[in-house]
Each structure stands twice: as C-alpha cells, then as structure tokens.
Structure 1
C-alpha cells in the first residue's frame, strides 16, 4: 500500500489522470433495515437475569480512539499483580474480539489515526478480556463519528520526502518495551506510517529514540548520510499519534498536520472552536 499511496501522491502533484475501477459488493453496501440484537457481554448481566439481549441503537461518539492514560494488561500480568478491576475477566468467545481487531487492522491501511490504538489492542488477541473489548468498542465509536475521514493527496507539492519519528519509552506495562512511530510524507501528502512495539527493551530514552530513527531510515531506504535530523517540539510532533494516547484537542490538531480530510463533513470554524473547547473541558 505504500507504493500505491506514493503513486497517487505523484499523480496529484503532476496532475496526472488516474482511472479507478470499483467493485461493489451488495452484502457489504446494502441497507440494514432489520433490528439487530446481541448477547450481553460477560459481567453485564446477573445470574438471575438470564436470557436478556441488547438492541442495537446509536452509540455515543468519542473524540479520540483510546482513553488518555489507559493501561491495558495481559492475563499473565494480572497473575503477578492485582488487577485494578476484579470484574475484568476473560471473554467467553475470543473469536468475536479477534474478528473485530482483524477488521480494524484492515482499516489502518487508510486510517493512520487509529494505528496506535489498533496495534495496542492486537497484542491481546490470544486471551482478550472485558477491558480489551471495551477499549475496542471505543475505537469503533471514534470511527463512527467520522466515517469519511481519510488521506488527502494534494497537488501542491514541493517534491521533498519528509519523515517524522518518535518513541514512547517503556510505555507498555506488561514488558516495559517502547513504542516506535514514524510518518513519511511526499510534500504534504502522507504515504507511509507505522506504529509498532520495539523488539527489545531500551535502557534509556536516548536508546529508544535511536531505535525509532533507525526504523524510519530503513523505511525510506536511503543512506544515513542523506538524512538531516531536525528537532521538533513535542506539541508539533505528528508521530505522537502513533506512539501514545493523546488528549482530544491534541489528537484533532495533529490530524490536521497529516492533511487528513473528512469527505462527509463541511468545515465550520464555529463548530471546530466549540468542539475543541468541549474536548479541553473534558480532558
């Protein structure tokens, strides 16, 4: 997909014509007119209230894909440390969680804003808990509020390849490994990104930053002599989207730096100011 995005970015910059062929699947695009019910997840119903189900209704949207300072733990971690929530049990059917994460992983091809949260949640595929499913449903609610958000390939380009990288030192509570995140743009068009846990434990923040830089250089496939590192203030670092949980306001601000556009939303200055004020008050 990096190659495809690069070609589209070049076509936008050079004003080439692109021919696209769409395949329309009726079972994916059809209207849903029936009422949908689901079984209650584990822990949501008392033993004396067996047989109850939930009816699908509108869910409340959220401003960021993952809750700020949210720490998710594995079952192995809970065996050695007392869990914060004693009702956080294993799911009866992990297949539901695994299928949902699989769909979200596919969506990250065009949605870098959920790359960090999805890579985090995908680490619990083998034994998901109730807290993992709750965090996954938050991602779904976040996607629902902006289904038209996507990558915008601009024709105003300066023919420069830029890369941003960052790392969150020892952010994983389960094994203290760091998270690497990088973003590569051609001009102002986003063509490549990644959020991934580092393979080894870094003993210092400097070490994990160098590992992140090495991963970025490997991605753009050029010699180190052609790379010019530049310091970027953390409030202006777009790679933070791929390494850590952010406030609602900061998440929305960094999305604008990626050049992502919502095709289903007409921009409104008043609405944006009200939304940022609301997010700041909540955060």
Structure 2
C-alpha cells in the first residue's frame, strides 16, 4: 500500500493521467511448468471411470496459479519495453525520449499512469490483445478505496468500507467518540473476561487493519487491538468499539494528495519507551511525507527490550532510516529526483548524538549492529538528523493515545480534512 500511495502522490503532483484496468480470468493465462492432473468434474466421473484430466493451462485453486500468472504478465510487459522495479516487483516503468509510463500491478488489477495518454491507450490495446482486459477508464474505485480527483489533487478514502463495518457491528446509530482510544489507557491480556466468540473480535481487527491504509489517525489504536487476537477479552472488544464510535463521526475521512506539491522527502521518528506493561518493550512510530503528502506510516512494537529511552528512540530511527532508503529506491524508479540529505526529525537529542557520534561506545556497545544503519546513512549523506520539540513531533500520535486537544493537533499534521460527516440514517 505504501507503493500505491507513493505512486498516486507522484502521479498527481506531476499531473499524469491515471487509469485503471482489470485482466479477465487472469489465472487461466498461466503456463504450467510441470505435469498436473485433476479429478474429473461431476458428471464425467460415471462415464469415464478411473480416469483423470491432465491440465494444459493453469486453473483457479492451484498453488502454482498466482506465481505462473505473475511470471506470464511480467514477461509480457518486459517484451513491451517495461522495466521491473527492484524496490517493488509490482511496479513497472517505461521511459522513452518523449514520454514516461508507470504501471502498478495487484494480482489482476492494474493502475497505469503516464505523461502521454496516447501511449497509455496503446498499452491497453496490447494487453487486450494478449489477455483480454476490462477498461475502467480514469481511476475511481480500487482495492476498496474510493479515489476522487479534482484539479486540486486526489482524495483517497474508504467511506463505503467504513459504513459496511459500522453496519455489520451495529454502530450506525452510535454516539461518535472524539478520539479512537482513551488517553492513558494500557490494554493487557489479563483484565476482563475471555470472549465467548473470539472470531468476531478477530474479524473486526482484520477489517480495521485494512482501514488504516487511508486512516493513519487510527493506526495506534488498531495496533494495540491487534496484540490480543489470540485470546481477546471483553476489555479489548470495548476498546475496539470505541474505534468504531470514532469512525462513526467521520466515515468519509481520508488522505489528500495535492497537485501543487513540491516533492521533498522527510520523515518523523518517535518512540514510547517501555510502553508495554507486560513485556516492557518499546513502541516505534514513524511517518514519511513526500512534500505535503503523507505516504508511509507505521506503529510497531520493538522486538527487544531497550535499556533506556535513548536506545528506544535510536531503534525507531533505524526503522525509519530503512523505510526512507527504500522509498528513495522506489522514487528513483518513478524518475523523481530527491534532494539529499533527507531530513529525519527526532525529539531525542541523545539518540541523534548516538547516530552522529562514534565516541558513545560504553552506552551503545550492547545495541545490535543493524541499528547503526543510521550512522552509515548519515556518513553517506543520505539523511540528516534534525532535532524537533515533542510538541511538534508528528509521529507522537503513532506511539501513544492522546487527549482530545493533542489528538486534534496530531490529526491536523496528517493532512486529513477537517470536520466530520454525521450519519443520519442507514443510507449514510
């Protein structure tokens, strides 16, 4: 999804045409490399007993089907002059002297963007001749995400998906909550009673996880809920219901990518030290902007226990550094030139010192070597660590539950539209 968001942010900023298409019966186009036999379908078994079918082409349900289809499509695109991205194999690009075209694949759904609409139409014709496609025209609805483009930019939201969740769990008429989680609340695995039907909770968490693709404001809350899917309790379900009540107040909210955007990469990294009351592991939170467009964010528990807040912040910096380096590779494939060094903001001066100073041996000798990727990228001139106050730290909302005033500030920094859409009836 980060690749998709980056793809759209770059396309909108460069005023590229964005179109969508679908391959008919994609898995049936795959070529089998080994002999595969199938039991005769119902109706043929009685007429031809003790016989089986030898498959000449791929079928839906085969383990090999998705891989063989991907190989077939990749080969076809490469024969058309496209180059496959090393940063993300689902991205293909084609550069000519007069045009540039980028193509993003998700199984059988394809997004095409480029500088020349004639070249895009020619590509569609080639794909239709090879596989038979459905042409959906300009980007409108894909992967459950609604895209609305205007001359000012493109807005991405999951309003229909959100309304379906609210209807399924009976929250269409619920009272909206001002924030997705209670400030200072720490969920654990011992308080409350075990749920009789844990499948409902797991299904809810799965749906909310997909909703975070366009709703960064609920990322922290959903991350907390996802830790208890093995043995959920009623306290966890209540916390999930608060997220639903928050979504009830603004089901159509999403992210906006402006067409008037200077493509400058910058990141924000933060950590909440020993926030897990059971394991005492810290929480990493980061977000990355391409100009004014938020393209990447994450909330994740760190894999080891940090001995100090500085170490926790430094581990968060390492995770953000890896994300920034990968995005630089991805943007290079999209022919976007990023001015280096990339600014990475952190509100911990000691973590910045660890990244820039080799003298802190006694304090850092226990930290894993892979964390020192931060130092390496600073020395290579890839990024520059900059200090920022905690009040201005955008990533703060990805590491903890905030009060209403602080959450509103965090919400505004994400670039999400203001206001809310009350649901008056079941039709929304």
* Residue-pair matches, total: 233
Task: Report the structure, 1 or 2, having the larger strand content.
Answer: 2
Gaps of 5+ in 2: 19-137, 145-158, 329-376, 423-428
Q: How does 1:1-283 map to 2 (within 5 A)?
A: 1-18=1-18, 19-22=138-141, 58-75=173-190, 83=191, 88-221=192-325, 223-224=377-378, 225-261=381-417
* In structure 1, C-alpha distance between the alignment counterparts of 2:388 and 2:168, rounded to whole Å: 49
Structure 1 or 2, whichever has the larger Rg, is 2
RMSD: 2.6
Q: Secondary structure at the match of 2:17?
A: coil
Gaps of 5+ in 1: 39-54, 76-82, 267-283
Deviation at 1:29, TM superposition (A): 6.1
- The question of whether the paired residues in 2 share the 8 Å contact of 1:148 and 1:263 is answered with no
Match of 1:79 in 2: none
Deviations 1:21-72 (A, max 9, x none): 53799xx969x9xxx998xxxxxxxxxxxxxxxx877211111111011011
- The question of whether the paired residues in 2 share the 8 Å contact of 1:94 and 1:127 is answered with yes
Q: Secondary structure at the match of 1:153?
A: strand
Deviations 1:241-279 (A, max 9, x none): 11001011111111111111259659xxxxxxxxxxxxx
Match of 2:153 in 1: none
- The question of whether the paired residues in 2 share the 8 Å contact of 1:150 and 1:262 is answered with no
- The question of whether the paired residues in 2 share the 8 Å contact of 1:146 and 1:262 is answered with no
* In structure 1, C-alpha distance between the alignment counterparts of 2:312 and 2:171, rounded to whole Å: 44
In the TM superposition, structure 1's runs of 4+ consecutive aligned residues that sit over 4 Å from their partners are 262-266
Q: Secondary structure at the match of 1:190?
A: strand
Distance 1:5 1:165, change over 3 A: same
Structure with bigger RCO (C-alpha 8 Å, 6+ apart): 1
Match of 2:93 in 1: none
Deviation at 1:237, TM superposition (A): 1.1
Deviation at 1:155, TM superposition (A): 2.0
Compute the TM-score of the two structures, normalised by the length of structure 2: 0.51
Deviations 1:223-251 (A, max 9, x none): 33321111111111110111001011111
- The question of whether the paired residues in 2 share the 8 Å contact of 1:168 and 1:244 is answered with yes
